[in-house]
Amino acid sequence: MTSSSGETPKHVLILGSGVFGLSTALALASRPHFSSSRITIVDQFNPHESNSTEPNPSASSIDTSRIIRADYASAPYARLALAAQELWRDVSDEGWGGQGRYHQNGLLLTTDAGQEDYVRRSLDNVRYLTAEGQTEEVFGEEDVDRLMGNHGISSGTWGYLNRGSGWADAEAAMKWAISRVNRNRVEVRKESVHRLLLSEDGTSVVGAQLGDDSKISADLTVLAGGAWSASLIDLRGRVKATGQILGYLTISKEEREKFQKLPTLLNMSRGLFLMPPSGGYLKVARHAFGYENPQRLAGVLGCDEELEVSVPDTDLAVPAEGQNAIRQFLRQLFPPQSDLHGIADRPFAKTRVCWYTDTPTGDFLVDFHPEYGRSLLVATGGSGHGFKFLPVLGEKVVDRLEGCLEDDLASLWKWTEPRSRDDPWQTEDGSRGGIRGMLLEDERMKTM
């Protein structure tokens, strides 16, 4: 039913331990159809801890916080996010939101004049799917400031508050998911992946060669490598890695108390958002078109010669362009009359470039690779919004394996013809802000 021969696979190999990989492993382990299947996850995890399966600190979901929202202009994503949110709201010790992993503080989405389309469609979907009174429209700066605690905060000309949205401690949730995987008959192997292996006739993927030159065979391989996926198979025109900026500022105990109960603030026109404090830091980030890092790679499945793809460059501080964008956003957010005005000029405690796995439309890619039958399922393309679906995404991936994924999701996530490989593209889902076409190396050189 799910392997290239049509039978239940004896061994399922999952490449990647991010949101797609962990969630898929948990779903497979719980499905009767795969009760006799061996399940293995391979990832380098934290390369600084030789005997540990701690998450890789370079992975996009290893962070202090991620927004948990059902605020989507696309109805299928809004419905799926609501299903995930119900599980996040389980704050028992064994629930997804337990032990402080989830906080429901609300989300304030704002937009600048003339750029309201995405936010209006999101509001329509949330109002249709949730209880009356969960949302409140915002008209101008006075409403924004009132909902943000009357601190003189300014952002956008229109928007709405969704009291049902919240945020999760992303790193804690990923560690908890790994602990669940370790308890659920899933073999976890700590190693990098060098390349995929083909059958003698070249029609099926039969496993992977690992970074230590060992080989691991499988009847079904699930490629869930996140921003590294395009370094293993040719995904040009379909998937690419883009670097997004995160900045963290140390705040005082009094400032933490001011921010703690305020909603997350996301200005959709500028792509910048302000998270509630976590771990003593106030976090500001940008959901944008991002930086690209094109590199020449050889040995990529589906390409006989070197190809140029954008891949992550990890452990980087944010370039000057990004740091300036964060400071400008904070100055706009906290104008001189605000009692929080001084935060904008405070030194960063740390900055980070986080790597999205972008697709042209912002839709996930969850489908069989057409050239390799049912031996290779590609599950990637989180496009900066995959984390919130961690409790439910794997169930949908396994639904695709079993041929029962809902039609609307199957249509959104299917393997499609790529954009022209010579035609630059960015994610055009209506949610991005910032400058298009920035190259990481150019911005780094400007910083020196």
pLDDT digits (tens, 9 = 90+) for 109-168: 999 999 999 999 999 999 999 999 999 999 999 999 999 999 999 999 999 999 999 999
Model confidence at 421: pLDDT above 90: no
Q: State the pLDDT at residue 315.
A: 85
DSSP for 413-428 reads: HS--PPPPTTS-----
Q: Which whole-number Å values give the CA distances from 219 to 1, 21, 425, in the listed order?
A: 12, 17, 35
Q: State the pLDDT at residue 401.
A: 96
Q: Which whole-number Å values give the CA distances from 362 to 204, 365, 380, 429, 438, in the listed order?
A: 28, 9, 11, 6, 18
Q: State the pLDDT at residue 46.
A: 66
Model confidence at 423: pLDDT above 90: no
Rounded average pLDDT over 314-335: 94
Interval 64-78: pLDDT, tens: 999 999 999 999 999
Model confidence at 5: pLDDT above 90: no
Q: State the pLDDT at residue 52.
A: 67
Q: Which residue has the tokens 């190809």?
A: 307
| Distance between CA atoms of residues 157 and 270, nearest Å | 13
Rounded average pLDDT over 190-206: 95
Under the banding of pLDDT at 50, 70 and 90, the label for residue 15 is very high
Under the banding of pLDDT at 50, 70 and 90, the label for residue 58 is confident
| Distance between CA atoms of residues 188 and 190, nearest Å | 7
Q: State the pLDDT at residue 4.
A: 45
Model confidence at 2: pLDDT above 50: no
- Name the least confident of 38-52, 163-177, 185-199, 273-287: 38-52
DSSP for 215-267 reads: EEE-SEEEE--GGGGGGTB--TTT-EEEEEEEEEEE--HHHHHHHHTSPEEEE
Token pair listed for 322: 């990004």
Model confidence at 44: pLDDT above 60: yes
- What does pLDDT average to over the chain? 93
Rounded average pLDDT over 359-363: 97
Rounded average pLDDT over 360-364: 97
Q: The whole model's pTM is what?
A: 0.95
Model confidence at 376: pLDDT above 90: yes
β-bridge pairing 240-250 and 350-358: antiparallel
| Distance between CA atoms of residues 138 and 51, nearest Å | 51
| Distance between CA atoms of residues 434 and 437, nearest Å | 10
Model confidence at 278: pLDDT above 70: yes
Query: What percent of the chain lies above the pLDDT cut of 90?
Result: 85
Q: State the pLDDT at residue 431.
A: 92
Under the banding of pLDDT at 50, 70 and 90, the label for residue 24 is very high
